[in-house]
Amino acid sequence: MKLSKYLLKTIKEIPKDAELKSHKLLLRGGYIKQVSAGIFSYFPLGWRSLKKIENIIRQEMDGIEYLEINMPVVIPGSLWSETGRYEAVGDELLRFDDRVGRKMVLGMTHEEVVTDLIRYAVKSYKQLPVKVYQIQTKFRDEPRVRGGLVRVREFVMKDAYSFHDSYEDLNAAYDDAYKAYHRIFKRCGLPAIAVSSDVGMMGGSGADEFMAVTEAGEDTLILCNSCSYKANKEVAYAKREYLKETPRAMEEVATPGKMSIEDVSAFLNIPQTKTIKALVYSNGDELVMCVIRGDLEINETKLKNYLKSKAIFLATDEQLKGAGIVKGFASPVNQKMRIIADTSAAESSNLVTGANKVDFHVINCNYGIDWNTSDVVDISSVSEGEMCPECGGKLTVTRGIEIGNIFKLGTKYSGAMKAKYLDKDGKEKDMIMGCYGIGVGRLMASVLEVTASDDKIVWPISIAPFQVSLLGLYKDNNIELKEKCDAIYENMKSQGIEVLYDERSASPGFKFKDADLIGSPITVAIGEKSIEKGGAEVTVGTNETQIISLDKLISEINTIIKRLFDELNY
């Protein structure tokens, strides 16, 4: 394609409202344009890259015997009501009435629709397993759009679903998807790791997220330096040692003005591991006190999951006062409200906690003697340097962007929607489900977050809009050089090389800057200076430029393209 005929608008200045590197580069390179908050149009460059990612996904999903289908974006609310999610999901689900007053939603995910499809088509165990996928537009009315394509409202997603007659079969399909995802990300040139994750609104018995490790990510990841343990902070655990002593008699001590864990431990000259932190949460109409060792933090995702709650909030001052709790001096001792104890508080001895009295704490407080509860569970967050629960090695905290996820849904949706089959004995049973998603646009942006510099894109060959940027650095009066560049361009096209030819009347500096933003993995520059040096200047990625003679140029470019694909396991 000749660049003068291409729809391209590059921006030399950095957009003020763009935060993440990928957002800046995709805007500057003429890949996307924002239409509204979290809603984007794709220019031809962006659409070519997106379609290449989709094709890789299709090849890998077809390879593990998934069938491609297409489901609607606009969905009857009645389907979502069958699972209770029409009422349960918050404002992220866009609801509206059609012209005759029917409740409708814009699909942010398609579990209900696909379950409706399969319950219509499948009646017998002989038809199982069924494995389907689609690549479809979704809409999530995201309240915190950021980072261009990283967190959007309208997006393209590959979502796949599998239906089984046994958990063994589900586990096998889950493993197939797990391996296929690693191949997809490898072929897209993006290093990715899989971490255990919270099932969230999807539900089910287990989930893994695939992460691009980058400081631009919103997710916090916990990784072991010594073994394969990897988890999202929402579900991560650590191995901890708890101080066990002979219990001593509880005693009240004055702690004037000392309300925080830091102040109390300093005042009493004790480590924070010898203290208790008691926080009160509002869970619907119920107040719950959570008790944890003072040096640790409560993991609210774990707490919500344990409570089976959609949302929890720290109690207000008014709620604390109404419950007889003295703020800053809360205590589980003599407490009438429900208490949830973290393992750290229940397993440690002779701790310091509030006395539920202004300016007083108690020392030598012991679970099972001075306070009690039947709710003892790990509700703590993991911190840098703690011990791995599997090997005892050191845990590291890093950041990542979620680029894909897989879930073992079980019978959550099939049971609610009566998606049943007849087993070999003629008995009705609920189908067992799995689901598997990849955000296509987010994957494209994540590649740049991990691989690009602040002002230069170098796409992996597999998803680059064009494999080669050919720059004709000739002056208008140098007809002979222009004809050589034109001939090389035509030769590249005839050999199936995807080439974007910059034959515009512009300065070399202008063309090189545009080439940096377009990001072809191979740049070929031909000008009077390069001819004097022996041919074309060829740059592969960020490597040093080499001179290749014009008579060998096409064969060398083909060799480079093959090598770049081979490096991605093609």
For residue 144, what is the domain's CATH number? 3.30.930.10
Asked if residue 85 and residue 129 are part of one domain, the reply reads yes
Asked if residue 190 and residue 160 are part of one domain, the reply reads yes
563 half-sphere exposure, CB direction, 13 A CA radius: 10
Output the pLDDT for position 204: 55
Burial of 496 (0-12, 13-18, 19+ CB in 10 A): exposed
Q: Are strands 338-342 and 375-377 parallel, antiparallel or unpaired?
A: parallel
The alpha carbon of 383 is separated from its chain's Cα centroid by a whole number of angstroms, namely 20
Residue 380 placed within a domain: no
Q: What would the pLDDT profile of 282-317 be if each residue is shown by its tens digit?
A: 998 899 999 999 999 999 999 998 998 888 999 999
286 strand-pairing partners = 283
Sign of the dihedral through C-alpha 79, 86, 170, 192: positive
What are the Cα distances from residue 214, in Å, to 234, 303, 381? 18, 27, 21
Output the pLDDT for position 115: 98
Asked if residue 329 and residue 256 are part of one domain, the reply reads yes
**Short-list 201, 198, 194, CA closest to 175:** 194
Q: Please, are residues 172 and 164 in contact by the beta-carbon 8 Å criterion? A: no
Residue 291: how many CB atoms within 10 A of its CB? 29
Output the pLDDT for position 570: 73
Domain containing residue 357: CATH number: 3.90.960.10
Residue 383's region, left for phi above 0, alpha for psi from -120 to 50, else beta, is beta
| Structure token digits, residue 383 | 């911190």
Instruction: Report the amino acid identity of residue 501.
Output: Y
Asked if residue 229 and residue 183 are part of one domain, the reply reads yes
How far is the C-alpha of 500 from the C-alpha of 548, rounded, in Å?
19
Asked if residue 192 and residue 107 are part of one domain, the reply reads yes
pTM: 0.89
Residue 12 placed within a domain: no
Output the pLDDT for position 15: 84
Output the pLDDT for position 408: 93
Residue 243 placed within a domain: no
Q: Which alpha helices (H) appear in 122-256, and where do they start and end?
A: 167-187
Asked if residue 166 and residue 76 are part of one domain, the reply reads yes
Sign of the dihedral through C-alpha 165, 171, 173, 177: positive
Output the pLDDT for position 354: 95
Asked if residue 510 and residue 474 are part of one domain, the reply reads yes
Residue 456 placed within a domain: no
Output the pLDDT for position 556: 97
**Short-list 525, 519, 483, CA closest to 506:** 525
**Short-list 346, 411, 352, CA closest to 118:** 411
Question: How many domains, the chain?
Answer: 3
Q: Please, are residues 213 and 450 in contact by the beta-carbon 8 Å criterion? A: yes
Residue 388 placed within a domain: no
Mean pLDDT split into 10-residue runs, the chain, 570 residues: 94 87 96 95 98 98 98 97 94 96 97 98 97 97 90 96 97 96 97 80 70 92 93 92 92 94 96 95 94 96 90 94 94 95 96 95 96 96 95 95 94 96 97 97 97 95 98 89 95 97 94 96 96 96 95 96 92
Instruction: Report the amino acid identity of residue 306.
Output: Y
Element housing 487 (H / E): helix 479-494
What are the Cα distances from residue 264, in Å, to 10, 261, 297, 355? 58, 5, 17, 12
Asked if residue 481 and residue 441 are part of one domain, the reply reads no
Domain containing residue 549: CATH number: 3.40.50.800
The domain boundary, picked from 415, 450, 485, lies at: 450
Asked if residue 335 and residue 306 are part of one domain, the reply reads yes
Burial of 532 (0-12, 13-18, 19+ CB in 10 A): exposed
Residue 33 placed within a domain: no
Backbone angles phi, psi at 159, to 5 degrees: -125, 130
Element housing 50 (H / E): helix 44-63
Asked if residue 319 and residue 267 are part of one domain, the reply reads yes
Asked if residue 404 and residue 515 are part of one domain, the reply reads no
Asked if residue 217 and residue 144 are part of one domain, the reply reads yes
Residue-number span of the structural domain to which 314 is assigned: 251-374
Residue 173 placed within a domain: yes
Residue 391 placed within a domain: no
